[in-house]
Amino acid sequence: MSFNHLGVFAPLLANLKKLDFVTPTAVQEKVIPSVLAGRDVLATAQTGSGKTAAFMLPLLQQLVTSGAKVQSNQIRCLVLVPTRELAEQIFQASQAFSKNLPVRLGVAYGGVSINPQMMRLRKGLDVLIATPGRLLDLVQQNAVNFYALNHLVFDEADRMLDLGFAQEINQLLRVFPRKKQTLLFSATLSDRVAELVKVLLQNPLKVAVNPINQAVNTVTQKIYTTDKKHKVDLFFYLLEQHAWQQAMIFVKTKKSAEKITGLLREKGLAVDSIHGDKPQAARLKALDSFKQGRVHYLVATDVAARGLDIAQMPVVVNMDLPVVAQDYVHRIGRTGRAGETGLAVSLVSADEVELLLAIEQLQGRNFNRLEEPGFIAEHRVPATDLRLGVKKKPKKPKVKTAIDDPHSRIHLGDAFNQTPKVKNVRSKPSFLSGSNKKK
Ligand code: AMP
């Protein structure tokens, strides 16, 4: 199968050749012909499966072949995404796909000045990639209208809802035109996404490229159990043992992101962080440095868990497990992308057993648990059973705990104990009423 067979036209084929896109991925194969035919699509595709091209190529083709001219402050195609990083990434990919094509693209997200975004919209755009909050700001400033909107994409729809964008989405749905083509992509499906699907899509093509809620099968997943206070030491031990040259390290809170970054830096490692408290410019710089290889370790909160595409990123470390099990799938999806192999290592302490169980249930399997001598948990992580839940009585430790790591003596203590704040959202009026409460 080739992109040509899927109906992709010559100007795009030329650009794909330059990008080395020879064979369409599964999601591209299934989605492109239907999008070209104007159908709505609901796709549950694994992260890293090539979904950006799956929606952007046929949309660009439609925009070019229809020949319509866009007027001031109008947009013809809108891609809504949950995070600034994802917006930037899709924008860059779309620019590469559309080289030499007569289309104007733009990107809009918060954390940076709105003025250049307004200026760019003044002449109208064929494609706007935006986060919901900033898009609403632009609507309120009359910088954008939706009279010419023909194509709408929701990317990472579940994430948008998890991040508390339900209210913004409701407001936007009221101003979008009724007649348009809508594509909804979600790496994982939840009940709330199903509600959104009901409101948004008409007779959609339903595509599930890989089993829903399954982690990428090119990623080897390893679970190390230890005590919370020994996680950092165990991490440094594993880092040295396995000589991880590049890794993305996920933590729960901004505070622990900063702490871990500091500890890695103290050891002379090239490290940066990416989390919600950092100005957008600093976040982009950190990501870029990591992608270019100037920075070898990137410490991140879940703001960075989805969508980011970092070529040949070999290792993801979960210093603590995410509160939402589906975020685990997204975190580990940062590695093993585009058919490469990857390793995801999670350090799990007893207090996280419920989170571990949720992840195991999501994947329909129990993980083997690994231990490293010297880091064996005093507070054993209770056994889990996919059907029965957490087995109440933890086993007594087999080996006496002895922390003998020569590499580090620093512990993060309670820094991992906090749960992230989820933005509160109004529940009415809403297609999601009752379900978008603060978690
Ligand atoms: P995505 O899931 O859209 O973020 O894509 C994941 C990665 O796969 C990106 O680096 C893409 O450039 C790459 N990719 C997507 N489709 C193809 C393809 N057909 N051939 C080669 N690489 C691809």
- Give ∠ CA 58-26-102 in degrees, rounded to 5: 20
What amino acid occupies position 266? Answer: E
Structure tokens at 116: 């250049």
Place of tokens 């023909």: 150
86 alpha carbon – ligand 1 mean position (Å): 14
pLDDT for 233-258, tens place per residue? 999 999 999 999 999 999 988 899 99
Claim to verify: residue 41 and residue 188 sit in the same structural domain: yes
Dist. CA 293–CA 291, nearest whole Å: 5
**420 is a domain residue:** no
Q: Is residue 173 part of a domain?
A: yes
In a domain, 160, yes or no: yes
Residues 6+ apart with CB under 8 A from 194: none
- 2 assigned to some structural domain: no
The Cα–Cα gap between 354 and 381 comes to: 10
What secondary structure does DSSP assign to 305-325, as a single string? SSS---TT--EEEESS--SSH
* CA 48 to ligand 1 center in whole angstroms: 7
Do residues 185 and 320 both lie within one domain? no
Residue 383: inside a domain: yes
Is 0.85 topped by the overall pTM? Answer: no
Last residue in a domain, options 368, 390, 412: 390
Number of domains in the chain: 2
| Structure confidence at residue 128 (pLDDT) | 98
Domain CATH number, residue 305: 3.40.50.300
Which atom of ligand 1 lies nearest, measured to the CA of 338? 8
88 and 28, same structural domain?
Answer: yes
Q: Quick one: 166 and 242 in the same domain?
A: no
The answer to whether residues 25 and 85 belong to one domain is yes
Q: Which of 169, 184, 209 is the last residue of a domain?
A: 209
Assess whether the C-beta atom of 271 lies below 6 angstroms from ligand 1.
no
Q: Specify the pLDDT at position 401.
A: 42
Atom number in ligand 1 closest to CA 25: 19
Ligand 1 atom 18: residue of nearest CA: 21
Pair 114, 245 in one domain? no
Q: Are 214 and 48 in contact (CB under 8 A)?
A: no
Co-location of 328 and 356 in the same domain: yes
Element (H, E) at 360: helix 353-363
Nearest CA to ligand 1 atom 22: 21
Res 48: pLDDT? 67
Atom 15, ligand 1: residue with shortest CA distance: 50
- What tokens does 433 get? 């009423």
On whether residue 339 sits in a domain, the answer given is yes
Distance 7 CA to ligand 1 centre (A): 18
Is any ligand 1 atom within 6 A of the Cβ of residue 109? no
Q: Quick one: pLDDT at residue 46?
A: 63
Q: Is residue 229 part of a domain?
A: yes
Domain membership flag for residue 298: yes
CA angle 350, 353, 359 (to 5 degrees): 145
29 lines ligand 1 (CB under 6 A): no
Q: Which residue has the tokens 């870029």?
A: 288
Nearest protein Cα to ligand 1, atom 14: 50
The partner residues of 186 in beta bridges, in order of sequence, read 44
φ, ψ of residue 85 in degrees (nearest 5): -65, -45
Residue 164's pLDDT is what? Answer: 83
- Whether residues 370 and 242 share a domain: the answer is yes
pLDDT value of residue 312: 67
Ligand 1 pocket test, pick from 19, 30, 52, 57 with the greatest ligand atom count within 8 Å of Cβ, gives: 52
Q: How many angstroms is it from 21 CA to the middle of ligand 1? A: 8
Residue 98's Cβ-side half-sphere holds a number of Cα atoms within 13 Å equal to 26
Q: Are residues 106 and 224 in the same domain?
A: no
Pairing of strands 389-390, 384-385: antiparallel
Do 343 and 200 lie in one domain? The reply is: no
pLDDT truncated to tens, each residue of the chain (439 aa)?
Answer: 899 999 999 999 999 999 988 889 889 999 999 999 999 999 987 666 788 999 999 999 999 999 888 999 999 999 999 988 889 989 999 999 999 999 999 999 998 999 999 999 999 999 999 999 999 999 999 999 999 999 999 998 988 887 788 899 999 999 999 999 999 998 777 888 888 899 899 999 999 876 434 556 678 999 999 999 999 999 999 999 999 999 999 998 889 999 999 999 998 999 999 988 888 888 888 988 998 899 999 999 887 655 566 766 789 999 999 988 878 888 887 777 666 678 999 999 999 999 999 998 888 789 999 999 999 999 999 999 887 788 776 555 555 444 434 343 333 333 333 333 333 333 333 455 433 333 3
Last residue of a domain, one of 209, 239, 259: 209
**Segments forming the whole domain that contains residue 34:** 10-209
Pocket of ligand 1 contains residue 51 by CB under 6 Å: yes
CB 55 less than 6 A from any atom of ligand 1: no
Residues 345 and 239 in one domain: yes
pLDDT of residue 50: 85
Based on the domain organization, do 204 and 223 belong to the same domain? no
Q: How many CB atoms lie within 10 A of CB 403?
A: 15
**Helix H or strand E encompassing 152:** strand 151-154
